[in-house]
C-alpha cells in the first residue's frame, strides 16, 4: 500500500483507506476511474452531437470538433473521419446551406482536413458577399 499512496491525490486516497491489500485498493481505484471515464465519455458525446456553429468562425468551429474527438480518443473512443465530417456539416450555420448540400451530394465525403479547407474558402465568399454593395456581382 505504501507504493500506491504517493501516486494518488488525497481525495482519492479517502476512497481506499479501508482496503487491506494493494489488490483491493487497485480494484477500488479501477472501479472509480472506469465510472469517471464513462461519465466523461457521455459528456463528450453529448457535446459533440449537439455542437452548433452559430457565430463561431469555421476555424474555431472545426477546432472545437477536433478537440472533442481527440478527447474521446484519449479515453479509447475513436471517432472516424467520416463521422467528424457529418458532425461538422450537421452543425453548420444556415449561411453554409448550399455548400453543405453540395458536400452531402458527393459520392464520397471529403476528409475532415479537406472539409476545413472547403469551408474556409466558403466562409471567405460568404463574408465577401455580405460586404458587397447591393446589385454588385462578385466573381470568384
Question: pTM of the prediction?
Answer: 0.72
The 10s digit of each residue's pLDDT in 11-36 is 666 667 777 787 887 787 778 777 77
Q: Are 78 and 24 in contact (CB under 8 A)?
A: no
* Residue 88: count of CB within 10 angstroms of its CB: 23
Q: What is the CA radius of gyration of the chain?
A: 23
State pLDDT tens for residues 56-105.
Answer: 999 999 999 999 999 999 888 899 999 999 999 999 999 999 999 999 99
Q: For residue 139, how many other CB atoms are within 10 A of its CB?
A: 3
Amino acid at each position: 500500500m505504501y507504493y500506491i499512496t504517493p501516486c494518488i491525490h488525497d481525495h482519492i486516497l479517502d476512497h481506499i483507506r479501508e482496503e487491506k491489500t494493494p489488490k483491493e485498493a487497485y480494484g477500488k481505484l479501477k472501479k472509480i476511474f472506469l465510472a469517471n471515464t464513462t461519465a466523461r465519455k457521455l459528456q463528450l458525446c453529448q457535446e459533440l452531437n449537439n455542437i452548433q456553429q452559430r457565430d463561431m468562425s469555421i476555424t474555431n468551429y472545426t477546432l472545437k470538433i477536433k478537440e472533442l474527438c481527440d478527447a474521446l480518443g484519449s479515453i479509447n473512443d475513436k471517432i472516424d473521419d467520416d463521422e467528424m465530417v457529418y458532425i461538422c456539416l450537421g452543425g453548420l450555420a444556415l449561411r453554409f446551406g448550399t455548400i453543405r448540400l453540395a458536400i452531402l451530394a458527393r459520392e464520397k465525403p471529403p476528409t475532415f482536413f479537406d472539409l476545413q479547407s472547403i469551408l474556409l474558402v466558403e466562409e471567405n465568399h460568404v463574408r465577401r458577399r455580405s460586404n458587397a454593395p447591393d446589385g454588385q456581382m462578385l466573381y470568384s
